[in-house]
Each structure stands twice: as C-alpha cells, then as structure tokens.
Structure 1
Amino acid sequence: MEGEQVVNQAATPAPTKKKGSTTTMLLVVIIVLLIGAIGFLYYQFDQSRKELVRFQDPEFLSQLQEENTQAIIDKVKKLMLLPDEAPTVATLIDVDALREENPEFYADGQNGDVLLIFTKKAILYREVDNIIVNVAPVFIEPAASLTDDGAETTDETETEDTTETTDDTETTEE
C-alpha cells in the first residue's frame, strides 16, 4: 500500500492558490496605477500653471522677446552685413494689407516673415526658409518743417500738405 500512496500523491495536482488572493493582488495593482496616474496628471497641471504664471510676467516676456529678436538678427547677419545698430523688428501678419501700401517691397512677402527696419534700410526675412526676401532703403518723411525764419513748426495742416505733396511726386514718378 505504501507504493500506491506514492503513486496517488504524484497523480494528485499540487494545491492551487486561492481565487481571492489573485483578485486582491489585481485590485492592489489597479489602485497603485490609478494613484500613479493621478500624481502624473497633477504634476503636469502644476507645470502648466507655473508656465502660465511665467508668461504673464512682463519682465519674462520682455526678456523672451529680446532673445527671439537677437536670434533673428544673428540669423540675418549670417546672410548679409547689417548696420551696427539695433533694428525695429516686426512679424508680418497681414501681408495683403501691406502690399496695398508698398506692392514692390512686399511682392514676395508671406505672413510670418520678419521685417527688420534700420535707419537706412528695411530687410524682409523669411525665417522658415532662412532667406532674405527683399531689401529696400528707408525714406523717413520729416514730421516738422522749418519756416522762412528758421523756426520749426509742427502744424497738422502743414504735415498733411507735405504728405500730399510727396504722394503727388510719387504718382508723377510712376
């Protein structure tokens, strides 16, 4: 009989784990994953909130704008010689409206191009393609004019007349 008992023990399956312990283990894993997901989402939310606060700070925005402007100037310097002065920098938003004012300069311009205005020249630069689209001299009309006795006047009527005279001259030249 002892031989039979050994055979019976080998044929008997090994004791299995209880069903309740597997369910408990699965539940613990799910809870740990949920806590981890909630922690990750809170971290992302907190980082976004901090970024929003930073972008509302005028000093940070000014610094960011200066860095972006300097980066654009550095890129244009690699393409051509620039005057040794700080330009006024603007990004084109509505190039069609600008084409109406100056069709020759903005003919090949696109929205998103960058305009660098120096005292004597204007440069239209396309950052996406890293190309200079156009360069033109800058003509600044004086806001005040001198009278016969050498005194400076800033009368609105005279300023408008000067502008009209300039417009007539430009029309005649075309």
Structure 2
Amino acid sequence: MPYVDRQNRICGFLDIEENENSGKFLRRYFILDTREDSFVWYMDNPQNLPSGSSRVGAIKLTYISKVSDATKLRPKAEFCFVMNAGMRKYFLQASDQQDLVEWVNVLNKAIKLTVPKQSDSQPNSDNLSRHGECGKKQVSYRTDIVGGVPIITPTQKEEKEKGKIQNISVSSV
C-alpha cells in the first residue's frame, strides 16, 4: 500500500521488471517525490539500508507520459501496471487490486499538467488577444522537441515593433 511519509512523499513496495521484457519482477521500495520531480526506487526502505546506500533506479516525472493498468498486456503478472517513460515501458506489479489502483492514481496525478482556470469575469476579446488576466502580454508560440528538449519559438512579433513599423510608414507618407 502506498503511504505518505514524514517528508510528504508517496512511498511503498512494488515489484519492477528492471530488465525490459525479461518477465522477472524484483521487489523494490519506491518513493514518489513531487517536489524533486522524481520517482526513485531502492533495494529496501532507505531507513533499513546502510547510510550512503544508493538508489537502484530513478525516473524524472516529466519523462512519464502515461500510467495505466497492464493486466491484459501481461496476463501472467497479476496486478500489473505500466509507466510509459520516453521510449521505454516500465512494468510494475502491485500486491493487490487496491494497491494497483492507488499507485496508478497517484502517479497519474503527479504527472498531470495543470492549466490555471480563467477567472469568472471575462475580459473583452480585444484585451484578451493582447494581454492575459494580470495584464501580462500573451504571445503565440510554436513548441518543437529537438533531442528530447522542448524549443519554444515565438510565432508573432512584439506589438511595439509593429507600432514602430506602422509609425514609420505613416510618418513617411
């Protein structure tokens, strides 16, 4: 069963298939730390290990795209779920159905992107196109992924630059 430790992290034991497609699951102690943006695992609870023991594995939460039930993908592995992280799938096995559901839910909640809701008072469309709720300027952009790194490129010029060009063209006429 996952539980919350004193540092407000989700912790507990799961079995993991450390070598992809081996079918061999090993018991490990997992810590989901949203403040550190990581999901790490150890041979045992770090409190039971000698000081200085290193972790066995780790995944940055930003690399995990989806966590879902995998009992149909791995029918021989009871209570199995899968984490899609980059080009790899990590298969994990919970101790029972409730454990499986709880881990899938907490992991999906941890990786979910949240977008702030707009306030109830809607600004007029003219202001909305140029400024956000707090008067911050909004600029459209394009995002490309290059070598696993997001590259953000603005797709429109600044209003000031447009104004300068218009002023120059108006004053030159």
What range describes the TM-score normalised by the shorter chain of this pair?
A: under 0.3
Higher normalized contact order (CA 8 Å, seq sep 6+, divided by chain length): 2
The structure carrying a bigger strand percent of its residues is 2
The structure carrying a bigger helix percent of its residues is 1
TM-score, scaled relative to structure 2: 0.26
- Flag the structure with larger Rg: 1
